[in-house]
Amino acid sequence: MTAASAPAGRTARHGRSARLVHTAAALRDLASGAGGPRGVVMTMGALHEGHATLIRAARARAGARGQVVVTVFVNPLQFGVGEDLDRYPRTLDADVALAAEAGADVVFAPSADEVYPGGEPQIRIAAGPMGTLLEGASRPGHFDGVLTVVAKLLHLTVPDIAFFGEKDAQQLAVITRMAADLNFPVEIVGVPTVREDDGLARSSRNRYLSRAERGTALALSAALFAARDRLAAEEALRVRAASAGHLVQDRSAALAALGEDRAAADARAVACAAAGPPHGPAVARAAARAVLRDAAELDPPLEVDYLALVDPTDFTEVPDAYEGEAVLAVAARVGTTRLIDNIHLVFGPPAPGAAGSGPECAATSPVHPVTTPQGPLGAPR
């Protein structure tokens, strides 16, 4: 069956079809798949491969007997004054086709009047302290709007499982907390970020970027990858240090006496890794900041809103002695387009017998530059 011959209200593509409904009553009339769970993927439309990945994850969990519902609703409550509500792309026909191809059974595309009958709701869900940090500080009230519409859509779609992208890490965290705190009978699932071939996180707002702006925007992912690679380099040094013991300190001194400065520096880095505690959070931040600092000098420049290394449970900044999982999050503007990205990092415990490091151990492992189409970023100065 082709799209042209599909029944009214249904779009078909490559053998798959999805029913398009606009009202809660029509959605209720569609029985959930017998014997399988209902999964929901909430979107604001302008679907891309990142959304398709969420839909495929929902299809996999729902199974052949379950049902996958994709919501398309541009929520006015989560846009602040001067933000791009009117500019946000609306591409419903293409969205339905992509959703169907990725495995959706139903696309629920309500109007604002359907979701908020009588106008903006007088009672909303407050995001609490987590909602005032990072994105919440930059966009006051944003997460209150997000949680209010997510709660509404959970009631309207009645899913067993709801899927959200990890690219919006803080959003995923506040939704997960809301579902737990308010006893929503739904499982919240995070799906890893989908990236373009050049590393840029997929976003509906990427279409706003000019070619030059896109080159600058690559600094967001470059900064995160620099932090990840710098942390991996430190961990590798610590592994070498654990096997080398105190002999490496003598080797460093001997090499320096022979004028072998580069080899001595390498040995000294291993010695410092053996002698001192891990510097993971500090070096991760430094590596990312170096890339962002250089991107601020590009044309067009990157205007950084925040770079934060946070505890994923409450999005508060972690200390330099932190151990465990953390989220390195960045937000920045290129031209008129604001973008966000993040990466998960894990920081290990101190090496056995670590006793602290002296000033000679500072910056023994340089931050290596990351190259974008506009040149290297993050080179040491």
Active site residues per annotation: 51
User: Which is it for strands 187-191 and 161-165: parallel, antiparallel or unpaired?
Assistant: parallel
Do residues 91 and 45 make contact, with C-beta atoms less than 8 angstroms apart?
yes
Dist. CA 194–CA 165, nearest whole Å: 9
Q: What H or E segment, with its residue span, contains residue 176?
A: helix 169-181
Written in H, E and C, the secondary structure of 120-132 is CCCCCCCCCHHHH
d(CA 357, CA 269): 11
Vertex 236, ends 234 and 237: CA angle to 5°? 65
Q: What is the 8-class DSSP label of residue 373?
A: T
Q: Which CA distances in Å does 377 have to 220, 221, 230, 335, 350?
A: 11, 12, 14, 19, 30
Instruction: Answer for the pair 302, 218: CB distance below 8 angstroms, yes or no.
Output: no
